[in-house]
Every structure is written in C-alpha cells, then in structure tokens.
Amino acid sequence: MHRYNSIIIGAGHNGMVCANYLARSGQKVLLLESSDSVGGLASVREFHPEFKTSIAHSISYFSEKVARDLNLKKHGFNLDAAPLPTIGLSADTNHIVLQGGRISGVANDDEQSYGKYLELIQRFANMVKPFWLQTVPPIGNNSLPEIMSYAHLGMNMRLMGKADMREFLRILTLPMRDLMDENFDNEILKAMLSWDGLIGSKLAPRSPNHSLITLLLRMSGPTAHQVSSASVKTLIEALHSSASASGVEIRTGAPVAEIVIGDGAEGLLATGVKLDTGEQIEADCVISSADPKKTFLDLVGVQHLEIGFTNRIRRLRADGYVAKFHLALKELPEFSGLDSPDGRLLIAPDMDVIEFAYDDAKYGHCSMVPVMEIVIPSIHDETLAPAGQHVLSAHVMYVPRYLQGGWDDQVREAYTQLLIDTIAKYAPGIREQILHHELLIPADLEREYGVTGGHWHHSELSLDQSLMMRPTYGAAQYQTPIGGLHLCGAGCHPGGGLMGGAGHNAAQEILK
Ligand SMILES: Cc1cc2nc3c(=O)[nH]c(=O)nc-3n(C[C@H](O)[C@H](O)[C@H](O)COP(=O)(O)OP(=O)(O)OC[C@H]3O[C@@H](n4cnc5c(N)ncnc54)[C@H](O)[C@@H]3O)c2cc1C
C-alpha cells in the first residue's frame, strides 16, 4: 500500500494549486481526478470533432501571487495578456464598449459617472483584495491571527477615509439595481456593469445580499469589468505542467469513492481514500476540492458527522443557474455594427430583462428573453478549432437546475433554437455558419463535472455562506470536523471563479 503526506481529491485548478504548494514545501503529494483530464470546470472539452472550449471560458481575476509563486509564466501562461473589451450589444448597433477604464457609446453624463464609479469601486476592491488570499478566521476565538486579520481589515478601511468607509458600508448590501440607478442613465450600461456582480449566483439586480462582494472579487484582477485574452486552456496546461514539475503525482481516471475515516487520539481522523476500484491509499492528510455537499454527504458519509453539521451541509444552497451554450462555426461570425467580435459580448438590454429571466428561473422556467455573455475563445487560441473556423461560447443566465415539467429532448431543442435566434438578432448570419451546437444545463454540469447543482461557486456565494462562514461554520478555514481532512475548492473562501484563492489558502493553512 502507498503512503503520501497529502492526497488531494480533484484536479480542478484549485486542487492543482493546492497540490503544487504542498509539493514545493517538500510533501509527497498525490492528486486524484475522477475524469480523464485535469482542469475540472476549466478543462478542455471537445464538443464536436476538433472544436473545443471549456465551461469556464474566460479569466478575469486569476491571482498574480499564485501565478508568480508557481512560475506559471515559465509553463506557458501569460497573466499579462491584453484584456478584451466588454461590449454591451444593442439591437440598434449603438453598442457600448468598456476598455482600459474608458467607455464609448454613452452620453457625456454617463461617461463622466463611469470614471467616478470605476475609481470608487476599484478603491473598494483594493481595500478587500488582501482578504481573498488569506484565511478569514472565525469570530470569537480572540486568537492572535484573528485579531491581526480583523485589525488589518479595520486598518484598510480606516485608510480609505471616513467618506469612503461610510459609502462602502452603505452600498455593501445594496441591490445592484439601486447602485446602477444612482449612477447611470443608460439601460444597457447598467445591465453590463451589474453583470459582474450577478454572474454565477442566484442573484438578480433587485436582490439585496452579496452582489457587491461578488463584484469586488471579480474586480480584484487587473482587468476591471473586462476579461483577459489569455486562454483558459493555457492556464490549465501551465498549472498541470507546474504541478508535475514540483513533483505532484497526478492520476486521472481515478474517482475517489470514499474518504477513509479511522479513530485518532483526538477524535475521528481521515487516514486515506478508497477509489472506485477498491484500491485504498493512505495519507497523513486528505484534502478535497470536490464541493462541500459531495465531500461530506457522499465521500465522508453522514455516519461520521454530527447531525447539526450534516443539516448545515444539506442546507447549503448549491443550485446552479448558469447554462453553457457552445457553437461550432464555419467561420468567424459577424455582429452588426462591430468590426470584430473579439471581446466579451453581453446580451442584456436592461436590468429588467435580467430580473425577469431570474424570476422565470426561480419558479422553474426558462426565460423567453435569455441574457448571456459570449466570447469566441478560438480567436486567441487557434488550437480550439480547425483553421479558419471558430467556437462561440456563451454563459446563459438564468437556467434552472429543475425545470417545471422536466428537461427532455424537445424542450432542449426549443431552448437551443431560442438561444440561436437571440444571438442572431445581433449576428444575423450566424445560423448558416453553425456546424454543431451544444447546450449544457446545470444538471448536465453536475453529471459531467461532478459538481453538486452544477454551481459556479460549488455553493452559493451569499453573505451567510461566505468569508469566515464559507462553506459553513465547522468546515470553514479549510478545516473540517474530521481530523486530517481539509477542503480546498471553490466551496471555500473566497469562492469560485478562476482565481486559485481557495487552493492557495488551503495549502497555507495546512502547512501551518
Ligand atoms: C457554467 C459555468 C461557467 C463558468 N465560467 C467561468 C468563467 O468564465 N470564468 C471564471 O473565472 N469562472 C467561471 N466559472 C467558475 C469556475 O469554473 C469554478 O468556480 C472553478 O472552476 C472551480 O474550480 P475548483 O478547482 O474549485 O473546482 P472544479 O473545477 O469543479 O474541480 C473539482 C474537480 O474535482 C473532481 N472530483 C470531484 N469529485 C471527485 C472524486 N470523487 N474523485 C476524484 N475527483 C473528483 C472533478 O472531476 C473536478 O475535476 C464557471 C462555472 C460554471 C458552472
């Protein structure tokens, strides 16, 4: 029987980041991945012969520190790649373009407001940025790390000055709708800017709660309201290559069926894992990047957990509301009024359309007026499609995990045609260019990527499920009620998105 210092379950980007840090510190690390390739939701997916993309289709806030620490540049990932413009598509071709802190396509008032708004939001993003890459300690321990961490946050807030501090607290739980209405007139612009606070969550413009925090998390990268032109594929390849170079042993096609629990001196202890094949592997420490529900309810088993904790895990909200839509295209599509479709294209004419799409999904329906974010990743990575041909990748909000009446082939086909019609309003010739299409609803993502609910963040990133309470108390700070068992995936602080924060923080905590 083999023995390792650490076994990591899941070779998504967080699992690879965590494994790499541990191996660099001298640990013997085994990374086990159930699917046949690494990357999890960011892995390459061939959805039609020679046409590839990934579920996570763009990078907006991958950690500079993680990229530097793991030498990702040397392994082929360029964090400094130019950002793509974000383009709010308008049916009358008066599109709005955000690029490098500048805006075009709006009236003077909105242009000036945008400058002020961006400055303010970036100050707030910089204030909270250090907290994404550190453990947020539990409140009430009065331990030195806790005092230091909260003192640091307090200090950062004080440094902002009284006026900013008040404003930060005022807008912290303000619905996106109010924040946008306070600042802007143009409806498309309001929809575009609110998008970054909503995408991936069960939140709409009128929802109070957490949209500012989601927005600030996304704004922690170098590309405010934009995404990088670097391809997700190169990020995953670099993480893979860097982890291997650090000595991480990576096994794909190795699903973990069970985390083996034994008795330790101070209570229950994780002693290793059992694979689907029955093979058992021992380690001092087991670290799961699978989502919290899967980790505790499936891999640990409720017989090892206290009832109150089990109930909190069961109650975690983890229903995904984002679908992926992929098109294999004969050639680069033309969008009316755009010289090139090279950008992040948003179809969301106003905040009400977003709100109504959300309302439909909330009650188990698909909106007849879907909102979406489109990129064409093959423009910057020619390995994703045959020469001259392209891939269109779209995030569609909001698509319910459970549809009233259920998802059958007919419903899927009707929805697919609606999505194509929606895109065709802005790219009239696209229907004739389509070689193949693929629609992945949250239930497909759950099945194919092993993520409960197919949720972007593995579990909703809302106030009650974030920071020192993420995923829930008793399993926050990358610890769990089982000795030697840790979490390192998107279900932990700071949440999901391609950032590497959870993998980084978990490794630092384990190495303590
Ligand atoms: C539809 C959608 C679109 C998204 N788009 C973007 C985007 O454009 N940009 C962005 O930044 N973020 C995006 N995200 C979010 C981002 O993809 C995730 O938050 C991020 O990939 C999570 O990374 P992770 O490493 O924590 O987990 P995952 O990527 O989910 O990796 C977990 C890994 O664990 C493996 N695993 C699970 N169970 C087992 C087991 N029992 N044994 C072995 N292995 C196991 C899985 O196979 C998987 O490889 C999107 C998410 C969704 C759902």
The alpha carbon of 267 and the centre of ligand 1 are apart by a number of angstroms equal to 31
Q: Is residue 303 helix, strand or coil? A: helix
Q: Do the domain assignments include residue 250?
A: yes
Q: Which helix (H) or strand (E) holds 3?
A: strand 3-9
Distances (CA, A) of 223 to 73, 381, 408: 18, 19, 39
Residue 501 to residue 507: CA distance in whole angstroms: 10
pLDDT at 223: 77
| Shared domain check, 206 and 139 | yes
Q: Do the domain assignments include residue 36?
A: yes
Higher pLDDT, 148 or 119: 119
Asked whether 199 and 57 are in contact (CB, 8 A), the reply is no
The alpha carbon of 493 and the centre of ligand 1 are apart by a number of angstroms equal to 15
Q: Is residue 302 helix, strand or coil? A: helix
Choose the final residue of a domain: 187, 216, 245: 216
Ligand 1 pocket check: which of 41, 58, 236 to mutate, most ligand atoms within 8 Å of Cβ?
41
Q: Do the domain assignments include residue 73?
A: no
HEC secondary structure over 72-122:
CCCCCCCCCCCEECEEECCCCCCCEEEECCEEECCCHHHHHHHHHHHHHHH
Tokens 């012969």 sit on residue? 49
Least confident of 204-213, 343-352, 394-403: 204-213
| Shared domain check, 286 and 203 | no
Q: Which helix (H) or strand (E) holds 192?
A: helix 187-198
With a pLDDT cut of 90, the percent of the chain lying above it is 84
Residue 467: band (very low, low, confident or very high) from pLDDT cuts 50, 70, 90: confident
Mean pLDDT (whole number) for 73-84: 94
- Cβ-based neighbours of 485, under 8 Å, separated by 6 or more: 259, 270, 285, 286, 287, 288, 300
The alpha carbon of 39 and the centre of ligand 1 are apart by a number of angstroms equal to 7
pLDDT at 107: 97
In the chain, how many domains are there? Answer: 2
Please list every protein residue whose CB sits less than 6 Å from any atom of ligand 1: 9-15, 32-35, 40-42, 55-59, 255-256, 289-290, 294, 299, 320, 322, 324, 395, 445, 449-451, 454, 456-457, 489-490, 496-498, 502
The alpha carbon of 337 and the centre of ligand 1 are apart by a number of angstroms equal to 35
The alpha carbon of 164 and the centre of ligand 1 are apart by a number of angstroms equal to 35
Asked whether 96 and 191 are in contact (CB, 8 A), the reply is no
Residue 288 to residue 496: CA distance in whole angstroms: 15
Amino acid identity for residue 475 in this structure: A
Tell me, yes or no, if the pTM score tops 0.75: yes
The alpha carbon of 222 and the centre of ligand 1 are apart by a number of angstroms equal to 22
Residue 1: band (very low, low, confident or very high) from pLDDT cuts 50, 70, 90: low
Mean pLDDT (whole number) for 94-120: 96
Choose the final residue of a domain: 188, 216, 244: 216
Q: Which helix (H) or strand (E) holds 444?
A: helix 442-449
| Shared domain check, 182 and 116 | yes
| Shared domain check, 310 and 271 | yes
| Shared domain check, 303 and 243 | yes
| Shared domain check, 242 and 273 | yes
Residue 38 to residue 8: CA distance in whole angstroms: 13
pLDDT above 80 (res 154) = no
| Shared domain check, 262 and 186 | no
Mean pLDDT (whole number) for 301-323: 97
Asked whether 299 and 290 are in contact (CB, 8 A), the reply is yes
Dump pLDDT digits (tens) for 40-67: 999 999 999 999 999 999 999 999 999 9
Give the residue whose CA is nearest to atom 16 of ligand 1. 497
| Shared domain check, 167 and 250 | no
Instruction: Determine the structural domain holding residue 119 and report its residue range.
Output: 110-216
Give the residue whose CA is nearest to atom 32 of ligand 1. 12
CATH number at residue 9: 3.50.50.60
| Shared domain check, 132 and 207 | yes
Distances (CA, A) of 134 to 74, 484, 493, 509: 25, 20, 9, 9
Residue 362 to residue 360: CA distance in whole angstroms: 5
Give the residue whose CA is nearest to atom 10 of ligand 1. 497
Q: Do the domain assignments include residue 496?
A: yes
Q: Do the domain assignments include residue 198?
A: yes
Residue 504 to residue 493: CA distance in whole angstroms: 11
Q: Do the domain assignments include residue 71?
A: no
| Shared domain check, 202 and 249 | no
pLDDT at 2: 64
Instruction: Region of 39 please: left (phi>0), alpha (psi -120 to 50) or beta.
Output: left
Angle at 174 between CA 168 and CA 176, to 5 degrees: 110
Beta-carbon-side half-sphere exposure of residue 363 (alpha carbons within 13 Å): 6
Q: Is residue 45 helix, strand or coil? A: strand
Give the residue whose CA is nearest to atom 12 of ligand 1. 497
Angle between helices 144-160 and 108-132 (to 10 degrees): 160
Choose the final residue of a domain: 181, 216, 251: 216
| Shared domain check, 117 and 154 | yes
Q: Do the domain assignments include residue 48?
A: no
Ligand 1 pocket check: which of 38, 277, 456, 492 to mutate, most ligand atoms within 8 Å of Cβ?
456
Mean pLDDT of the chain: 94
Q: Which ligand 1 atom minimizes the distance to the CA of 499?
A: 11
Q: Do the domain assignments include residue 345?
A: no
| Shared domain check, 248 and 199 | no
Least confident of 23-32, 169-178, 292-301: 169-178
Beta-carbon-side half-sphere exposure of residue 115 (alpha carbons within 13 Å): 7
The alpha carbon of 10 and the centre of ligand 1 are apart by a number of angstroms equal to 9
The alpha carbon of 367 and the centre of ligand 1 are apart by a number of angstroms equal to 25
Give the residue whose CA is nearest to atom 51 of ligand 1. 456
